[in-house]
Structure 1
Amino acid sequence: MSTKSKVLISLIGLGIVDIVIPVPIVALTLIYVVLQRPSWFTDMVRNIYGT
């Protein structure tokens, strides 16, 4: 399974959880990524876009 597929499945799963639970998990994850800039996120982006 490619990285793009894994990311898409993860985002769909987070979206479903976001609908079921009233806490905005996707928004909190986005805030974490923007503020902390974790290395796993930049690695994933480089893997997806091939740079």
Structure 2
Amino acid sequence: MKTTTKIIIYLSILALIDMIIPIPFTALMLIYVILEKPAWFKTLVTEIYNS
């Protein structure tokens, strides 16, 4: 599966969770990525820009 397809699926799931649970899960995930700088995020961004 292409990286862009995976990202669209993940973002759709996050959007559904945000609508069902009244906790801004996407915003919390963004704060986590900004503060912790996880390795999986860098890998994901690299895959996106290489494709």
TM-score by length of 1: 0.94
Match of 1:39 in 2: 39
Match of 1:9 in 2: 9
Match of 1:20 in 2: 20
Deviations 1:13-38 (A, max 9, x none): 10011011001110000000011010
The number of equivalent residue pairs is: 51
Match of 1:30 in 2: 30
The structural deviation recorded for 1:48 is 0.6
TM-score by length of 2: 0.94
The percent of aligned pairs where both chains have the same amino acid is 46
Moved over 3 A (4+): none
Supply the AA of the counterpart residue of 2:8. L
The structural deviation recorded for 1:3 is 0.8
The alignment's C-alpha RMSD in Å is 1.3
Q: Which runs of no fewer than 5 residues in structure 2 stay unpaired?
A: none
Q: Which runs of no fewer than 5 residues in structure 1 stay unpaired?
A: none
Distance 1:14 1:27 in 2: 10
